[in-house]
Structure 1
């Protein structure tokens, strides 16, 4: 069995962030901007820290400064609106049917990669079992 891993076009960060912003159940915490299709707004910093960053810390960051640093490193820019308001924009991160389709494809690619990794591990396990059987046969022949 030959195991090949496909390559994805979106990083986990973009996928996870898109899913969270797109998820209607998180709209009180983080949602798309109503005036700009290329930006999202953080409405509740406390719940962002406790609900979202805590749950998705491995991808988004463990705390607010790390999350903000990851946003900057992925090309997001703050939109200055006023004190206490956090809005971030990115030209390629958009609320649109095309973007939704691209993100769904990227998520599908991740699932395929995961499946391929599982197949690879199964191949290795099968080979290891076969190797152990041969080793046991040789040990039994020496007795």
Structure 2
């Protein structure tokens, strides 16, 4: 089953890694195709990137490739130790970058709203306990 590009953690994390210029020796956008990226060094990908982002991208290379395929990416062998991954909706473009930033902002806003709601529930719980404590003291 091929999934459309969404604001899921997988796409966001993958885009950030591929777009990060500091990791270009390991993984970078293809120079010939705006809808693909190349893994230049599979060993470094495993040790430097997958070890940091295993919860989203996969714990090992096999799991990473399986996740890419399940999200609709096609795999091409570039050379020894090099793979290219392509997806029609995963593109290197200012619009895509803007979409990723917006998706991250939405996630941040949702997280902030969840924290605010938890703080409100905690405050209400504290108030309830205070009232219950006052009633218990009155019974004495």
Task: Compute the TM-score of the two structures, normalised by the length of structure 2.
Answer: 0.91
Task: Identify which of 92, 106, 121 aligns with 1:124.
Answer: 121
Q: Please state whether the residue corresponding to 1:119 is helix, strand or coil.
A: helix
Match of 1:77 in 2: 74
Q: What do you get for the CA RMSD once the two structures are aligned?
A: 1.2
Match of 1:34 in 2: 31
Task: Identify which of 59, 64, 67 aligns with 2:61.
Answer: 64
Confirm whether residue 100 of structure 1 aligns to residue 97 of structure 2. Answer: yes
Question: What residue ranges of structure 1 are gaps of 5+ in the alignment?
Answer: 1-8
Q: Please state whether the residue corresponding to 1:81 is helix, strand or coil.
A: strand
Confirm whether residue 12 of structure 1 aligns to residue 9 of structure 2. Answer: yes
In 1, the alpha carbon distance for the partners of 2:89 and 2:14 equals 13
Q: Which runs of 4+ in 1 moved over 4 A?
A: none
Confirm whether residue 54 of structure 1 aligns to residue 51 of structure 2. Answer: yes
Question: What residue ranges of structure 2 are gaps of 5+ in the alignment?
Answer: 1-5
Confirm whether residue 136 of structure 1 aligns to residue 120 of structure 2. Answer: no
Q: Please state whether the residue corresponding to 1:41 is helix, strand or coil.
A: strand
- Paired residues in the alignment total 135
In 2, the alpha carbon distance for the partners of 1:92 and 1:118 equals 33
Task: Compute the TM-score of the two structures, normalised by the length of structure 1.
Answer: 0.89
Higher relative contact order (CA 8 A, sep 6+): 1
In 2, the alpha carbon distance for the partners of 1:68 and 1:137 equals 60
